[in-house]
A and B are shown apart, each in its own frame.
Chain A
Amino acid sequence: MNRHEDAADAARMVGFAMARRKAPARSGEYARLVQRFDTEPDFAQVVRKVAQGFDLTVLEVHPQTGLVLGTTPETDFAVSVSDLVPQTSDRPLYLLAQLTIAAMVFPRPEDLDDDEHVGRISVREVDDEVRVRAATIERRLAHTGEDVDPPSDQLGLEGLWRAYLRRNATGKTKTQTGRAPQASTRALVKRAFTHLESHGFASKVSDEDAGTYVTHVKYRLQIRDQAARDMLQELAALGVAALPTDGAPGPAQPSPDDAVSANGLFS
């Protein structure tokens, strides 16, 4: 196969990764490309370069989900948060819901490495979780006397936890006359789930507890390989989190000895 064919194959593989509902088990062509990626380092490099051309990164190639791509700040292919939540006042609460869903699906760091992990979470559970945590912060601040209301002309200084508590869990809040009613927090959590579902990261299993969802493998990979790290870096930039300084323990690297002995089996 010549270089031009390789380029076509690599672009096709990136195309598969961008399409919804495509998986190596569903398409012989995709399975062939995944195999090429695994066994031909040169081809893998071409795929990485094609992704780079779109300002995307190759996070990994997984036998079930195929090629997993990550976004860079420059890319035109990332979702726009303002498209997901047009209302600016809803945005932080919606984004908090997204993070809480992830935190509840993967309660322990090792869950992110578990190949068989399936999360099952409902809208009500997510909403309750944020409220419990926010209420804990409220009690702690009240106890230490730090709880101060934000200045009325600088509402952006209000704590995220308080903004969430202030919103009703259900129903629509009528604010001052003439203004749009605010979405309830459960409606925002629900919207977060709906977006996860439409992007192929979860599926709804029942209407119980305002909607119960199970997560797919791709959701785990996207969080493990990129989202958690990206957010941690942002927090570190704000000075509220410390990045791990040592060379990130991560999964065990194959030691050279292992490689030799496994190799020896078939030599």
Chain B
Amino acid sequence: MNFDEPSTVYESITSRIRALAVGSPLMALDNSKAKKERGWDRYRMAELALIAIDFVTLRTDMRPAVRQEAVVEHVAEFAALQLPERTGEEYRAVARWVTERLINTEERDRAFHHDVGYVTEDGFETRTASFQILKEVPDHVGQAALIATDAAITVLVHAIDVDIASEQIAAEAKLEALLKRSRISEAWQAAQNAQIHSIRYAKDIRGRIESMKRNVRAVDWDTEVKDTVDEALEHVRSRSASETLQKERVNQLLEATADDRKRRQLQDLATLIHECWKRHAVLIDMLMKVGPEFRRQQDRQVFVAPAMHTRVHLHEQLLQPVLELSLDACLGPLEAFTRAVMGPVRPRVMYLPDYLEGLAQVAEETGRELVAVQDEYDWSQIDAPSAFGGEQHHAVDTLLAAITDQGLRLSALLETTRRPGPGTGPDAGTDELLTLRVQQLFRLIPVRQLADGEAAVVAVDDGTVLDDERFGGSDFLLVRTAGTAKTQEMSQPLPAFPTPRRPQGPDTHPLDQESA
């Protein structure tokens, strides 16, 4: 073959155009109409795009993918750097726009296309090359996240697609040489290049493992995976050794340098090298697992029958027919669909906070006019006459106030209310008021008053039966009693909520001990 033949010459042209094409969507960002329309002309969009791609590339070495939100936050910081006087909201909007343009969300297949000329045996022809820059994939837990494509890393993260391993050795040799000459900033740049290479290496390995997980039979262990893994292990182990050396050299330089600026640079460099070293440790770990993982996947895929499911065309077989059904008829099929989509849910166990939340929740669609909550009922405004008059109340108050610590029986008091007098009498009904008040005294012992050492009247039921013509029940004994002032025994005031008394006796045991 003659090397001057047009087809041979053109091969290189084709491959370079294909590479340059990957840059074109970035350049197009700065000329886009959307940018002008939104008043974003002064942002350097292509540069922000590179920041997004770098971020995704550098982040996807440890974890398989990065969330879009994280990318947007990172790019927004640089948008703020470009135009400091704008708002945070705009920075995020710009960042989101750039990120989504890189995913190419406007195209259904998400791909960018570029026409590239080829010279084949049949002559010249144009073909459409398609590529992606940032790609949405499910991450390790099945949620959407971003990765940078190989095309993007190759062209845009300035790593040229040659043999990865030798490229990295060259990068590290350069780093070593620069360190020897103490050219720190260049060394840093070189270290970062080395880092990018190691990321690509990890990505390559991870890609193989992923495809193996999908289908064991698609990967040939003997010819492909085993060699790659052995080679990678060898490579990564030697890199780790050289990183250890470089770290030592940086440390030596650190000891020898007094200049603050240089020291800071050296420290940054040391961190970067350490990161590389850590990354390689992870890579070794990953590589060691490839073999067992392959066997495991083989067990899984060969012995577990794949889930069987009907292939359904959602648009044609479900959506289109259901649209033409009547409102009554469509409910069954549609409900079946949504119930199955949502899957099983944990039933909510009702507990108190749920009730409160439920009660406090405003209905989504109120729709009705709101009415003011009713005021507390004002008893003075009702027309119904009171059952007992003021004189009767006064008479009963006097009677109860006159009770001494000797005590009086309800029966005796009832008799008094039936004697004629102001507010009293046989048929005045004051006896009924008295029974109501005594009942109240029995039910509501004035604990607080007694605890404070004040005297108060209490009703005691000692088992005596009331013998009366109108009322039945217990003949309560009414006694004025003064509680022992607890405040004198205890220096501190009573707690607002008294604790329950502990049960006493040898066999009793407090409840809370059991539950503890």
Contact = CB atoms under 8 A, between A and B. Distances in A.
A8 interface: no
A95 interface: yes
Contact of B105 (A81, A116, A120): A120
A26 B368 CA distance: 47
B345 A231 contact: no
Nearest to B323: A161
B332 A137 contact: no
A106 B334 contact: no
B317 interface: yes
Contacts of A215: 144
Contact of A78 (B317, B327, B337, B345): B345
B309 A160 contact: no
A96 B323 contact: yes
B181 interface: no
Interface string A227-267: 11111111101101101100011110110001100110110
A76 interface: yes
B142 A95 contact: no
Interface string A166-201: 000000000000011101000000000001100101
B341 A201 contact: yes
B300 interface: yes
Given A158-B326, A215-B144, A251-B306, A98 B341 contact: yes
Contacts of B368: 180
B315 A107 contact: yes
Given A206-B96, A250-B308, A258-B217, A157 B327 contact: yes
Given A157-B327, A223-B341, A228-B314, A181 B335 contact: no
Chain B interface, DSSP helix/strand/loop, else mixed: helix
Given A99-B322, A103-B319, A160-B330, A231 B337 contact: yes
B220 to A, nearest CB: 9
A95 B325 CA distance: 13
A56 B213 contact: no
B493 interface: no
Contacts, number: 285
Interface in B105-134: 105, 108
A218 B343 CA distance: 10
Interface stretch (B14-22, B291-299, B455-463): B291-299
Contacts of B328: 156-157
A91 B339 CA distance: 13
Contacts of B314: 99, 102-103, 106-107, 109, 223, 228
Contacts of A205: 68-69, 96, 144
B214 to A, nearest CB: 6
A45 interface: no
Contact of A262 (B298, B313, B318, B331): B298
Contacts of B511: none
B333 interface: yes
A84 B307 CA distance: 30
Contacts of A156: 326-328
Nearest to B345: A79
B222 A265 contact: yes
A116 B137 contact: yes
Given A96-B323, A160-B325, A238-B325, A77 B338 contact: no
27 contacts: A54-B344, A65-B141, A68-B343, A69-B343, A69-B344, A75-B344, A79-B345, A92-B334, A98-B341, A99-B314, A103-B314, A107-B315, A108-B313, A109-B311, A112-B312, A159-B324, A201-B341, A205-B69, A216-B144, A219-B341, A227-B336, A235-B317, A235-B318, A237-B332, A250-B308, A251-B306, A262-B298
Given A70-B343, A120-B136, A231-B336, 13 more contacts: A60-B307, A91-B331, A115-B214, A118-B138, A120-B103, A160-B323, A214-B68, A216-B138, A235-B318, A248-B308, A250-B311, A254-B302, A258-B217
The 4 tightest CB contacts between A and B, nearest first, are: A180-B367, A217-B142, A95-B334, A23-B141
